[in-house]
Amino acid sequence: MTARAQVAADQLQAPPADVAVSLRDVDLSYTQKLVLSDCSIDFKRGEVTTVIGLSGAGKSTILRLINGLRRPDRGHVFVNGLDIVSMPERRLNDLRARMGFAFQASALFDSLTVFDNVSFPLYEHTKLSRTEIRKRVDETLEAIGLSDVAERMPAELSGGMQKRVGFARAIVNEPEIILFDEPTTGLDPIMTHVITDTITQIQHRLRPTSIVVMHDMPSVYAISDNIAMLFEGTIIEAAPAAEFRRSRNPIVQQFLEGSEVGPIPL
Amino acid sequence: MFRASTYLRTLPRPFPATRRFFEYAGGLTLLFFDAVRYIVTMRFRPSEVVKQTAFLIVESLPIVLLTSGFTGLVISLETAVSAVQNGFDFVIGGSVAYGTVRELGPLLTGIVFAGRSGAAITAQLGSMVVTEQIEALKSFGASPTKVLVVPRLLACLIGMPMLTTFSDIIAVYGGYYMAWLRAHVSYTTYWNSVNSFIDFIDFEKGLLKAAVFGALVALVACYEGLRTEGGADGVGRSTTHAVVTAIILVFAFNFALSFVLFQ
């Protein structure tokens, strides 16, 4: 496809301007197993949207689709109005430069110090001087309350601190879109509170489009502008947080109540 | 919508082993050209190349010195006494140096390098895959080839000839020690023999072989590491596979290069 045809195709089906990310009719399967089926959802610009769902439902896969780490078998993924499904890797990398991704297990580079980890996106995508990078990394680490760990290795940090360093790496280049994969999973209640607080602060400071995947409901309510539920490969409900809590969908209600009784098979 | 790839997937696939071979060879070739693209355009961190070179040399040097030292000793042990008894003491140094510099030096160093440094590279990259570090790298728009493969490839290209030089020196000196100990061959006789049997060009060709083996080990190790699947079990499988494949390729390329360079 020529560049002009690509632009035309992108504009043909592009979502409205207030939608930063959009999935349209996406199918994706891993080794014969259908993970996403006819999945469609819009993520509004500058807001926090949380995707909830059962473990293994395909929530993290949505984040990987948005980042271009996975390509769908069918359907479209729009980021800033551009369909990234057939986008060449080089163009996709330009788009990724404006995205931050905080991984579930932090995924810090274990051979690099905290400073080198956090500065990595800046060295890759900016032409800042070493002094400017040092300043930016110090500011980011300070913003998440980890100003004294810059020269330590990831293995020397606790799980919660690693998560926060992962956040710092995701936000250091002030991205337009931030993807958070299970940010509170496996953490104690105090650290969970610290993490949700950090997400709220990031949102307040940078106003990015944040897409969060988690199923810890108190944290979901604490940070979300919108909530969507993924069930059996498709989005069954997506609404502003207050409206979502009042949903009459029995599957949503069973999930929110954490009840064993209901339409969700155990 | 009709998709050819979906239709083709349903067809029976003949010759699975042949297909796997070509997939593997194709994957290695693509990785090589991808790495060359970054090297030619100088898009890599030189400091990382220096770090990797130092790491890989330090990893392999003690084993290389031991294996090559013993090889020199054993060649001399087998030839020295009977050569002196038959009046051929002027060939002892030459036979050790000839075999070492042209063949055994690069070959043994390549095998040790594959087993030690190749395994370390695959295990490291494999662990990065299973802990999502490679995905993290990609998610920031960075190429694993540029950040991880290129420094290791260059480190192996630089490191293998250096290790082979050490290996050659230790083997030839080991040979002299055994010739002197067992057959009382003099220093002058031994070194005159070495000088008469080999030229500097032989040494250079040996180093060229070493560089090729270094590139092979790096490519196979990185390729296997980056396509690791599963958890710790997958890392173990990739590492074993990388070492075995690299050693086989080192033997095969050694034959091909000897054929081209020395015939």
Do A131 and A191 fall within a single domain? no
Whether B10 is in a domain gets the answer: no
Instruction: Check if B2 contacts A (Cβ < 8 Å).
Output: no
pLDDT at B4: 54
pLDDT tens string, chain A, 266 residues long: the values are 556 655 555 555 678 888 999 999 999 998 778 899 999 999 999 999 999 999 888 999 999 999 999 999 999 999 999 999 989 988 898 899 999 999 998 899 999 999 999 999 999 888 899 999 999 999 999 888 888 999 999 999 988 899 889 989 999 988 999 999 998 887 888 888 888 988 898 899 889 999 999 988 999 999 999 999 999 999 999 999 999 999 999 999 999 988 888 888 87
Do A134 and A189 fall within a single domain? no
Whether A121 is in a domain gets the answer: yes
How many folded domains does chain A comprise?
Answer: 2
Instruction: Check if A34 contacts B (Cβ < 8 Å).
Output: no
Do A94 and A195 fall within a single domain? yes
Q: In chain A, which residues have their Cβ closer than 8 Å to the Cβ of B140?
A: 96-97, 101, 120-121, 124-125
Do A259 and A183 fall within a single domain? yes
Q: In this model, does residue B53 exceed pLDDT 70? A: yes
Q: In this model, does residue B109 exceed pLDDT 80? A: yes
Q: How many CB pairs under 8 A join A and B?
A: 54
Count CB-CB contacts under 10 A for residue B134. 24
Write out the residue range of the structural domain in which residue A142 sits: 111-174
Nearest to B132 among A93, A107, A120 (CB): A107
Q: In this complex, do B132 and A121 lie within 8 Å of one another by their Cβ atoms? A: no
Q: In this model, does residue B77 exceed pLDDT 80? A: yes
Q: In chain B, which residues have their Cβ closer than 8 Å to the Cβ of A103?
A: 132, 135-136, 139
Gyration radius of chain B over CA positions: 22
Whether A15 is in a domain gets the answer: no
Return d(Cα B256, Cα B249) in angstroms, integer: 10
- For A119-136, b where at least 16 C-beta lie within 10 A, e where not — what string? bbbbebbeeeeeeebeeb
How many folded domains does chain B comprise?
Answer: 1
Do A86 and A34 fall within a single domain? yes
Helix (H) or strand (E) holding B24: helix B16-40
Last residue of a domain, one of A120, A153, A174: A174
pLDDT at A115: 95
- Is there a contact between B48 and A109 (Cβ–Cβ < 8 Å)? no
ipTM of the complex: 0.86
pLDDT at A216: 87
For range B110-127, the mean pLDDT: 96
Write out the residue range of the structural domain in which residue B210 sits: 28-262
Q: In this complex, do B133 and A120 lie within 8 Å of one another by their Cβ atoms? A: no
Q: In chain A, which residues have their Cβ closer than 8 Å to the Cβ of B151?
A: none
Nearest to B133 among A69, A99, A109 (CB): A109
Nearest to A101 among B127, B131, B136 (CB): B136
Best A67, A104, A130, A179 member to test B by mutation, with max B CBs in 10 Å, is: A67
Do A183 and A85 fall within a single domain? yes
Nearest to A121 among B127, B132, B140 (CB): B140
Whether A208 is in a domain gets the answer: yes
Give the gap in angstroms from C-alpha B109 to the nearest C-alpha of chain A.
27
Do A86 and A179 fall within a single domain? yes
pTM of the entire predicted model: 0.86
Whether A227 is in a domain gets the answer: yes
Instruction: Check if B29 contacts A (Cβ < 8 Å).
Output: no
CATH number at residue A65: 3.40.50.300
Whether A138 is in a domain gets the answer: yes
Return d(Cα A100, Cα A180) in angstroms, integer: 8
- Is there a contact between A179 and A173 (Cβ–Cβ < 8 Å)? no
